[in-house]
Amino acid sequence: MSSVAGTWSHVRAAGSRARRGVAADMARLLQATAAATAAWVIAKHVVHHHEPFFAPIAAAIALNTSIGQRGLNAVRMILGVFVGIAVGEGAIWILGGGYGTLTLATFVAMAVARALGGARIVIAQAAASAILTVAVTTPEAGLNRMADALIGGGVALLFSQVLFSPEPIAFLRRGEAAALEEMKEAMHMTVRALERDDPASAEQAARKLRDLRDQLSDLGHLRHQSTAVARHSLLWRSHLRPLAGEADRVAYLDLLGSSCLVLTRIGMALDHADRGLVAPSVRDLAATLAELATDPGDRETRQRAGTRALAVARGLGSEGEPARLLTAARTGVWMVAFDIMTFTGVLPDAASRERR
């Protein structure tokens, strides 16, 4: 019975993750659908293709990647189609049709695409275009596919670089806020574990922080994607300089997440009597993370959070602090506080001046 319940729990968890994934990507799915429809309308009613099936496919394929890579994906797709058609037409002109021509054209097209950079979409589109060019040997086949690729890729570029180009700094700060929210929740779980001697809450906090590593890894990718968005978009190119500063701050979140995990593990390793002594400092750090998560891009919010983290760290050495507070726990609290200060850009000296 317990195994059935456990299996059902895993199924529900997987379903919940799938629903969250679809909801998170809903805007991108709708954009790809609209782009495919627009490409089909253009190819059918403007260019007057009788069977413009590849234009909507090209638009959907080009947009089927992470934000920040969609424009480059469209250009790569067009390049792959061009290489495949050129190689296929050349093979037909030299060798005529047949299986040998198709085999050679496919290999040469992929080899040329690989030599041009080797992106998967370039190689795949080069192979597919060479195969279709040789297999469908009508004179219009290659030209129609090239026109469809230009239409679909052009629509994808319009959607990704003009109509729905994300604001890169806001794009990055949403990822920061989500990561800080996870850390805040883990710290609240740690407080509950320390105050109630609840190992289950501590394990839940540690698991959340370990899982956070994947989220922080994704946030690292977001750093590169947001830079790519700014660099390749006419709308956001002027944001490259402030974006660089934001990207530098993001790098410190990985250290902050690790420090939170260390503090959780140290706190639960304390004796029963000592856990209650650490809990107030951990609660203050959780409150600091909660405030910072509300708007990590706001200068005043960062200033308050950094100053508050400094106060937590300094409070550990005050005269009223019980002597039983272990050195390891004090170090763990200081690590989290210091990483918050580093993320916010509020160094101890600056925070001290701010308080006076």
Of the pLDDT bands very low, low, confident and very high (cuts 50, 70, 90), residue 287 is very high
Domain holding 96, by residue range, is 32-163
Q: pLDDT value at position 13? A: 46
**Chain center to CA of 187:** 24
Q: Is-above-0.75 flag for pTM?
A: no
The answer to whether residue 17 sits within a structural domain is no
Region 280-298: mean pLDDT is 89
Instruction: Report pLDDT digits (tens) over 323-338.
Output: 445 677 788 888 999 9
Of the pLDDT bands very low, low, confident and very high (cuts 50, 70, 90), residue 231 is low
Instruction: Give the Å distances, CA to CA, from 40 to 78, 231, 278.
Output: 16, 29, 63
Q: pLDDT value at position 319? A: 45
Of the pLDDT bands very low, low, confident and very high (cuts 50, 70, 90), residue 104 is very high
Of the pLDDT bands very low, low, confident and very high (cuts 50, 70, 90), residue 108 is very high
Among candidates 333, 329, 216, which has minimal Cα distance to 286?
333
Helix ranges, the chain (H): 2-24, 26-41, 54-63, 70-95, 99-115, 120-135, 139-158, 168-196, 199-232, 240-269, 272-294, 299-315, 327-344, 348-355
98 vs 340 pLDDT, higher one? 340
What is the overall mean pLDDT for the chain? 78
131-140, 218-227, 269-278: range with lowest mean pLDDT: 218-227
Same domain, yes or no: 191 and 284: yes
The answer to whether residue 8 sits within a structural domain is no
Q: pLDDT value at position 330? A: 81
Same domain, yes or no: 55 and 145: yes
Q: pLDDT value at position 241? A: 63
CATH code of 283's domain: 1.20.120
Region 21-30: mean pLDDT is 68
Same domain, yes or no: 103 and 216: no
Out of 163, 180, 215, pick the residue that ends a domain.
163
Same domain, yes or no: 102 and 142: yes
Please check the confidence at residue 50 and state whether its pLDDT lies above 50: yes
Rounded CA separation 188/288 (Å):
11
